Copies of this chain bind each other. A is one copy, B any other.
Amino acid sequence: MELSNTTQYAIRMLSYIANSHGKLQNAKELSTILTIPYKFLTKILTQLVKSEFIISIRGREGGYKLAKPASEIMVLDILNQFGDIVKENQCILGIGTCDSENKCSLHDQWVIPKEMMIKMFAQTSLENLEGDEFKI
């Protein structure tokens, strides 16, 4: 019941980039600051560029910055991008899809916590994660 390493890394990178308010950040520094293996980090950054969370400036003095305002990038979007799915009708026991008509034995207990989780991820943007008091 955890986010994948890739998703965790992606959120932390985006969060840090958001906190730089437009100043370009390069992969080498991000790797050092966030203690994420350089080569793995660049791989994820490239995915984030392709999925249009960030834009990259190539060449010397290049780096990365957000492609849109931090307030418009929701944590749920990041989860979806990296396959860490939390869907409304997802069955917690993996028996197809679940709803009130056709449910697994854990469905009723799972409804409320699931709703809260989804709501939280859907309503939280990178802007909400800004601040210097947090671990990075």
Contact = CB atoms under 8 A, between A and B. Distances in A.
Interface of A: 1-3, 5, 8, 11-12, 15, 75, 79, 84-86, 90-96, 98, 102-107, 109-110, 112-113, 116-117, 120, 124, 128-131, 133-136
Q: Give how many copies assemble into the complex.
A: 2
Contacts of A75: 106
A12 B93 CA distance: 7
A109 B22 CA distance: 25
B94 A1 contact: no
Nearest to A79: B1
Contacts of A3: 1, 92-94
A109 B105 contact: no
Given A94-B5, A104-B135, A128 B116 contact: no
